[in-house]
Amino acid sequence: MLKEDLINSGAIKFGDFVLTSGKRSGYYIDIKSAYTDPKILDEIGLEISGMVKSGKIAGMELGSVPILVSVSIKTKRPFVIIRKDDLKHGTRKRYIGSINLNEEIDIIDDVATTGGSIMKAAEIIRNNGGIVKRAICVVDREEGAAEMLKENNIELYSIIKASELR
């Protein structure tokens, strides 16, 4: 259902694409343009909401924030926004919201590629006393994220896997 809507909305395009990494790809994903339509965001939020287990959710600035807020509203769970590294504001708190000691938090993201962004968010949550066991993304590109996160005790869940798009 959501997969077809993402294709119809232009969020997933098929063709011959050169990614910023230089790799070629048979599909191109642009969740960020699609989710500015509240109908699409609602569907994404609904599917992600069904996979949330912890009492709080977190996401990395900026791409995951609309999904995070949609899931927060649907599940009535508070959210944490992890800020990107920003040398200009070195002393600034690295997140918006609260992280309590030994509180379990699920991480939400739009697209998982290598898992670097999710891992960064997990490190900041863990360094501030929180517990991370699960991450949920819309699209898993299957380029190593699940394996890398598993080594770091995080289970990755997704709505759509790249292998389903080929």
Cβ proximity to a copy of itself, 32 vs 126, nearer residue: 32
- The secondary structure of residue 131, as a DSSP letter, is B
Cα(154)–Cα(86) distance, rounded to whole angstroms? Answer: 25
The reply on whether position 120 binds a copy of itself by CB under 8 A is: no
The alpha helices in the chain, defined as continuous H runs, are 2-8, 31-34, 38-49, 65-75, 116-127, 145-151
Which member of 12, 41, 44, 136 binds a copy of itself (CB under 8 A)? 41
HSE on the CB side for 35, CA within 13 Å? 24
Torsion angle of the four alpha carbons 104, 99, 67, 144, in this order, in degrees rounded to the nearest 10: -60
- Shortest Cβ distance from residue 17 to a copy of itself (Å)? 17
The reply on whether position 83 binds a copy of itself by CB under 8 A is: yes
Beta 79-82 vs 134-140: how paired, if at all?
A: unpaired
The reply on whether position 129 binds a copy of itself by CB under 8 A is: no
Stretch that binds a copy of itself, among 46-54, 75-83, 127-135, 144-152 (CB under 8 A): 75-83
Cβ proximity to a copy of itself, 98 vs 153, nearer residue: 98
Q: Is 110 annotated as a binding residue?
A: yes
Cβ proximity to a copy of itself, 124 vs 149, nearer residue: 124
Beta 95-96 vs 12-18: how paired, if at all?
A: unpaired
Cα(159)–Cα(73) distance, rounded to whole angstroms? Answer: 19
- Which residues would be at the binding site for a copy of itself (CB under 8 A)? 32-33, 36-39, 41-42, 61-62, 65-66, 69-70, 72-73, 76-81, 83, 96-98
Query: Which residues participate in the annotated binding site?
Result: 83-84, 89, 109-117, 141
Query: Which residues participate in the annotated binding site for 5-phospho-alpha-D-ribose 1-diphosphate?
Result: 83-84, 89, 109-117
